[in-house]
């Protein structure tokens, strides 16, 4: 089942996507809901980020072939596979939806990269769960883009601005609830050209292991988002580009790239 959060006129609601329509629901996507008679063409609604999370998490290095590139990131990052996830957190401000622009900050270091990833959506309060039980706490999966300024990542001691700037976490277009998270092919396109094709079977730590690890110290809440980590070499983006993250079985996340408006230059 594909569950989307959308805006139609001034109303915001959740719905189930079927073919080219979205069927509005009543109730909570995290507990129980029912389909209504209100059907809208997808072309007539605005798709929003699929949830309103309290936390957005990434696992740290999570692919052997990304480590082989030196991680392209922090100078202290080892190319040796980690023994456990090394989580980091994006701010809620970084979340943006399908079709919305990725904004390059005007004081950016000049090396902003796109990183296509899968994203797990937490379905219920999750605290101190085992890897074996963690799957029961995940509602479904979406497409994601872990946008990162590599210059800031190298220069700073934390990733608060490198990964957490406004619009640096596109997620969407919706949540797929019935899919194997460790057998997802992920295709990243930049201006229509394929620049990355990987599979979640190659994650060093599975979604269940990442969620379990996070839950030992942090309570994860319904709607929270957990990124998979990227793989291989990532690609720089600039204003005017278009980035697409496609996961067959889920959908395609589409975002143009724009420069931050500088009012002082107007």
Could you read off the pLDDT of 112-127 as tens digits, one per residue?
A: 999 999 999 999 999 9
Nearest to 100 by CA among 150, 169, 40, 20: 169
Q: Are residues 35 and 101 in the same domain?
A: no
Question: In angstroms, rounded to a whole number, what is the distance separating the alpha carbons of residues 230 and 171?
Answer: 14
Do 239 and 161 share a structural domain? yes
Are 66 and 149 part of one and the same domain? yes
Counted residue by residue, the chain has a size of 266
| Element (DSSP H or E) covering residue 207 | helix 207-215
Beta carbons of 65 and 190 less than 8 angstroms apart: no
Residue % of the chain over a pLDDT of 70: 92
User: How does DSSP classify residue 213?
Assistant: H
Q: What angle do CA 261, 262, 266 make, to 5 degrees?
A: 105
Per-residue pLDDT at 233: 81
160 pLDDT higher than 80: yes
Q: Are 95 and 221 members of one domain?
A: yes
Look-up: residue for tokens 């201006």? 191
Residue 45 has pLDDT above 80, yes or no: yes
Distances from the Cα of 77 to the Cα of 16, 60, 127, 171, angstroms: 42, 10, 29, 26
Q: Is 70 left (phi over 0), alpha (psi -120 to 50) or beta?
A: left
Residues 40 and 122 in one domain: no
Same domain, 37 and 145: no
CATH number of the domain encompassing residue 116: 3.90.850.10
- Residue 41, domain CATH: 2.30.30.370
Residue finishing a domain among 33, 48, 63: 48
Do 131 and 16 share a structural domain? no
Residue identified by tokens 């979604």 is 207
Structural domain that includes position 44:
1-48
Residues 80 and 174 in one domain: yes
Please tell me whether residues 39 and 57 are part of one structural domain.
no
Chain-centre distance of CA 123, in angstroms? 16
Note whether 103 and 4 are same-domain residues: no
- Are 103 and 256 within 8 A, CB to CB? no
Q: Using 50, 70 and 90 to split pLDDT, how confident is the model at 81? A: confident
Q: Give the integer Cα–Cα distance in Å for 68 and 79.
A: 6
Kindly indicate the confidence band of residue 266, based on its pLDDT and cuts at 50, 70 and 90: very low
| Res 63: pLDDT | 83
Contact 176, 142 (CB under 8 A): yes
- The total of structural domains in the chain comes to 2
Q: Which of 82-91, 123-132, 196-205 has the lowest mean pLDDT?
A: 82-91
What is the C-alpha end-to-end distance of the chain, expressed in Å?
47
> Contact at 8 Å (CB) between 151 and 111?
yes
Taking the C-alpha atoms of residue 45 and residue 21, their distance in angstroms, rounded to an integer, is 10
242 in the same domain as 157: yes
- Whether residues 131 and 167 share a domain: the answer is yes
Q: What 3 state SS string does 56-110 have? A: EEECCCCEHHHHCCHHHCCCCCCCCCCCCCCCEEECHHHEECCCCCEEECCCCCC
- Residue 208: predicted pLDDT: 98
């Amino acid at each position: 089942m594909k569950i989307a959060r959308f805006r139609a006129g001034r109303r915001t609601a959740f719905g189930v996507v079927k073919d080219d329509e979205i069927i509005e629901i009543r109730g909570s996507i995290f507990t129980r809901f029912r389909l209504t008679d209100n059907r809208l063409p997808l072309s007539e609604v605005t798709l929003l980020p699929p949830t309103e999370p309290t936390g957005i998490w990434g696992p740290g290095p999570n692919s052997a072939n990304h480590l082989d590139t030196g991680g392209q990131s922090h100078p202290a990052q080892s190319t040796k596979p980690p023994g456990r996830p090394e989580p980091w957190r994006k701010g809620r401000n970084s979340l943006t939806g399908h079709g919305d622009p990725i904004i390059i900050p005007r004081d950016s270091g000049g090396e902003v990269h796109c990183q296509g990833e899968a994203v797990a959506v937490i379905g219920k309060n999750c605290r101190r769960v085992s890897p074996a039980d963690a799957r029961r706490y995940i509602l479904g999966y979406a497409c994601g883009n872990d946008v990162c300024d590599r210059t800031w990542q190298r220069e700073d001691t934390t990733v608060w601005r490198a990964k957490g700037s406004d619009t640096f976490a596109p997620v969407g277009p919706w949540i797929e609830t019935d899919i194997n998270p460790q057998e997802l092919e992920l295709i990243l396109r930049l201006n229509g050209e394929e620049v990355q094709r990987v599979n979640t079977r190659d994650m060093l730590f599975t979604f269940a292991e990442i969620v379990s690890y996070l839950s030992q110290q942090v309570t994860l809440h319904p709607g929270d988002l957990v990124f998979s980590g990227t793989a291989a070499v990532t690609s720089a983006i600039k204003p005017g580009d278009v980035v697409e993250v496609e996961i067959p079985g889920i959908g395609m996340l589409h975002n143009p790239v724009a420069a931050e408006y500088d009012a002082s230059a107007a």
